[in-house]
Amino acid sequence: MSFQAQADFNRLDPDHGTLSFGGIEPSTFLEPDADVRAELCVRLTPRYADSTRDVRVRYSLNGAAAAPVVVVQGGISAGRDVVATAGGGPGWWSGIAGPGRALDTRRCRVLSIDWLELADLGDAPAVDSADQADAIAAVLDALGVRRIRAYVGSSYGAMVGLAFAARHPQRLDHLVAIAGAHRAHPLSVALRNIQREIVRLGARLGDADAGLDLARRLAMTTYRGEREFAERCADAPVLEGGRFRFAEEEWLKAAGSSFVRRFDGARYLALSESIDLHRVEPEAVQVPTTLIGISTDRVVPLSDLCDLQRRCGAAASLHVIDSRYGHDAFLKEETQISALLSEAFASIGAA
Amino acid sequence: MSFQAQADFNRLDPDHGTLSFGGIEPSTFLEPDADVRAELCVRLTPRYADSTRDVRVRYSLNGAAAAPVVVVQGGISAGRDVVATAGGGPGWWSGIAGPGRALDTRRCRVLSIDWLELADLGDAPAVDSADQADAIAAVLDALGVRRIRAYVGSSYGAMVGLAFAARHPQRLDHLVAIAGAHRAHPLSVALRNIQREIVRLGARLGDADAGLDLARRLAMTTYRGEREFAERCADAPVLEGGRFRFAEEEWLKAAGSSFVRRFDGARYLALSESIDLHRVEPEAVQVPTTLIGISTDRVVPLSDLCDLQRRCGAAASLHVIDSRYGHDAFLKEETQISALLSEAFASIGAA
């Protein structure tokens, strides 16, 4: 089956065209050919709430009109701007998704949402990966897309992909989960718990930005490779103004302060906790699945991906990327990821 | 050579008996047979200061009178109370050092100091591992011990041992360095830098204890094993009072609060930074050396110990302990450590 043959599944569905989207005009309906960056209101029942509510979801849709849809989701700090566009900037995965890339927007449409955060869900005490999965399904409903060719998720996006496959198996042909498993590893849970406590400490004592900055620095140490640290930070510390400066600190400081400019504490707390709450029974994933792990990933150990592969409810293959970059290899190793994506799509007849 | 044959090196040296120890009466001199827990004043020139000063050093000496001396030093939070004694409590290594143990205090005397901290050094901007090594050498001078049978150091104690061997090669027969290398790994430097920034954040914003608590929680995640976390924290989080409680958090909280009761921020800052400043050229270690690494150690990667072994200036053997406990295996794996110590001592003719 080619991408083209699949396209008829993804046309606008007139049955859905008359739905109310919580009062927001689904103007994007009228422009299926264009790249879209818009907002919808969908009805959701969050996992940790007991009633249905209207939730605004920001999404983007980029690619050839009426082509099959591929949902792409990244880590907690990645938004809907996957592909480079005029309206959405450079795109966080533009080396992998775009015209002529492995995820070729001349042959498919890339759909992505901005992660829901706690404020989006009203009175729910937490945002679950299942809520994000349901939001994506609701956006597909709203856009009249019955079935997607693939869901490609990295990090938290992979966790949400597993939840999506478990909850909406009829909505996708194939799942690609990169550097994400059916649960967060307890050591990673511990490290994120400390990150959240740092954010709370800063907020409680009156310097929320300092807390968020330090929490991000800590997260960075988990995202990157051990060898990468050794190579980047070979220089001995320098004594300046009575205090030693370490190369490691300078690198982390830059990462922390740039994060503070583009993120906020409440969003960080909700999405970080959402990773730790994530739990999907591998047996419930009854969709053909490609799992991609990273040799040096200290956030998602390969042992958890092996466990997931073994227990998956449908055929699942596990591939390992060899990288110096640790967890962030899903952003850095464009060549290896592209090759694996092309292989996965070839195996489902979409090459 | 047996322990006994070595004893004459370690008798009180009358040449030293008349030295002034900065005005403190070296009363311990008069009781060489007893277990000693005392304080000395020694003259030191700290590495990052430009003048000599008197420094108080707290030490303990436990074991058979006139037996060969073995210096034992642990991590930054371990003090001089190595062996279980009436005056010093249970001893942090009492399963390995004590009567009938691998480090048998019926056949040797265990000497240990409390680590120097910044306040001990006057105007120096930092405490170096070389300063600790020089303090140990000065205590040996004061006690009239020309040469020790072995220096056995773990974690920071191993780093100081390497500095001691490099600076005072004529003072020891053998070095045993457990879970410590010639430098701190940059990833560990990064993580300790964040710990210190958390301590500073708490202090700056008015809750120093909260900062120290969180820093220790972070340190704990590096000290323990990945699998150990997975086994201890298998339970799903529980929603209590509108907030999820994670098993990981409960474990870390207990570790953090008990640490705050026995440590203080200034000491933590100085000793943590001292680890990161530590640098010894392996080639400068010209003393027979036994290196012991831990399979799951995420603070001191085996690759650094391999590098150290290869470059060591004298014969060095590297042994690897298989453990689930990570870096803290030096405290937990008493059987494996004891066997390796017995082997090391046998190889130098002391069994």
Q: Which of A333, A69, A97, A74 is nearest to A180 (CA)?
A: A74
Same domain, B200 and B60: no
Chain A positions in Cβ-Cβ contact with residue B214 (cut-off 8 Å): 194, 197-198, 201
Distance CA B199, CA A200 (A): 14
**B297 is known as an active-site residue:** yes
- The pLDDT value recorded for residue A241 is 87
- Domain assignment of residue A75, yes or no: yes
CB of A190 within 8 Å of any CB in chain B?
A: yes
Distance CA A63, CA A294 (A): 29
Distance CA A255, CA B272 (A): 22
Same domain, A170 and A261: no
Same domain, A310 and A207: no
Chain A positions in Cβ-Cβ contact with residue B207 (cut-off 8 Å): 201, 204-205
| Nearest CA distance, B214 vs chain A (angstrom) | 7
Question: What does the pLDDT profile of chain B (351 residues) look like in tens digits?
Answer: 333 333 333 333 333 332 333 333 344 443 444 689 999 999 999 999 989 999 999 999 999 988 999 999 999 999 999 999 988 889 999 999 999 999 999 999 999 999 999 999 988 999 999 999 999 999 999 999 999 999 999 999 999 999 999 999 999 999 999 999 999 999 999 999 999 999 999 999 999 999 999 999 999 999 998 888 889 888 889 999 888 999 999 999 999 999 999 999 999 999 999 999 999 999 999 999 999 999 999 999 999 999 999 999 999 999 999 999 999 999 999 999 999 999 998 876 554
Q: Which of A175, A154, A117 is nearest to A300 (CA)?
A: A154
- The pLDDT value recorded for residue B11 is 35
The total number of structural domains that make up chain B:
2
Same domain, A126 and A260: no
- Domain assignment of residue B3, yes or no: no
Same domain, A109 and A257: no
Beta strands in A181-315 (DSSP E): 238-240, 243-245, 289-294
CA contacts within 13 A on the Cβ side of B266 = 7
**A2 is known as an active-site residue:** no
Distance CA A140, CA A137 (A): 5
- The pLDDT value recorded for residue B30 is 39
Same domain, B67 and B119: yes
Distance CA A322, CA A334 (A): 12
Q: Which of B87, B30, B326, B236 is nearest to A184 (CA)?
A: B236
Q: Which of B236, B258, B274 is the last residue of a domain?
A: B274
Residues in CB range of A313: below 8 A, 6 or more apart? A282, A283, A284, A285, A286
- The pLDDT value recorded for residue A7 is 33
- The pLDDT value recorded for residue A66 is 87
- The pLDDT value recorded for residue B18 is 28
CB pairs below 8 Å between A and B: how many?
140
- The pLDDT value recorded for residue A346 is 83
- Domain assignment of residue A3, yes or no: no
Band the pLDDT of A5: cuts 50, 70, 90: very low
CA contacts within 13 A on the Cβ side of A78 = 23
Cα dihedral B179→B184→B187→B193 (10° resolution): 120
- The pLDDT value recorded for residue B241 is 87
Domain with residue A292: its CATH number is: 3.40.50.1820
Q: A27 or B212: whose pLDDT is higher?
A: B212
Same domain, A32 and A175: yes
Contact A43, A138 (CB under 8 A): yes
Same domain, B47 and B138: yes
- Domain assignment of residue A2, yes or no: no
- The pLDDT value recorded for residue B96 is 97
Contact A52, A135 (CB under 8 A): no
CB of B243 within 8 Å of any CB in chain A?
A: yes
Q: Which of B241, B274, B307 is the last residue of a domain?
A: B274
**A327 is known as an active-site residue:** yes
Q: Containing domain of residue B260, as a range?
A: 186-274
A205 vs B48, B206, B232: nearest CB: B206
CA distances from A89 to A85, A250, A329, B29, B262 (A): 6, 27, 22, 75, 52
Contact A133, A167 (CB under 8 A): yes
| Nearest CA distance, B289 vs chain A (angstrom) | 25
ipTM metric? 0.89
Contact yes or no for B252 and A205 at CB 8 A: no
Same domain, A154 and A55: yes
Q: If you search the block for the tokens 């699945």, which residue do you land on?
A: A289
- The pLDDT value recorded for residue B345 is 85
**pLDDT tens profile A139-182:** 999 999 999 999 999 999 999 999 999 999 999 999 999 999 99
Chain B positions in Cβ-Cβ contact with residue A233 (cut-off 8 Å): 186, 189-190
**pLDDT tens profile A253-272:** 999 999 999 999 999 999 99
- Domain assignment of residue A18, yes or no: yes
Same domain, A59 and A201: no
With 50 as the cut, is the pLDDT of residue A4 above it? Answer: no
Q: What whole-number percentage of chain A has pLDDT above 70?
A: 89
Residues in CB range of A338: below 8 A, 6 or more apart? A95, A96, A101, A102
- The pLDDT value recorded for residue B323 is 96
| Global pTM value | 0.90
CB of A202 within 8 Å of any CB in chain B?
A: yes
- Domain assignment of residue A4, yes or no: no
CB of B100 within 8 Å of any CB in chain A?
A: no
Q: Which of B148, B190, B156 is nearest to B287 (CA)?
A: B148
- Domain assignment of residue A256, yes or no: yes
Q: Which of A274, A305, A337 is the last residue of a domain?
A: A274
Domain with residue B235: its CATH number is: 1.10.1740.110
Q: Specify the amino acid at residue A340.
A: L
Distance CA B121, CA B43 (A): 10
Contact yes or no for B218 and A194 at CB 8 A: yes
Same domain, B97 and B231: no
Same domain, A193 and A254: yes
Region A232-252: mean pLDDT is 91
Contact yes or no for A248 and B193 at CB 8 A: yes
Chain A positions in Cβ-Cβ contact with residue B277 (cut-off 8 Å): 237, 244
Bridge partners (DSSP) listed for residue B44: B53
- The pLDDT value recorded for residue A242 is 85
CB of A277 within 8 Å of any CB in chain B?
A: yes
- Domain assignment of residue B2, yes or no: no
Band the pLDDT of A17: cuts 50, 70, 90: very low
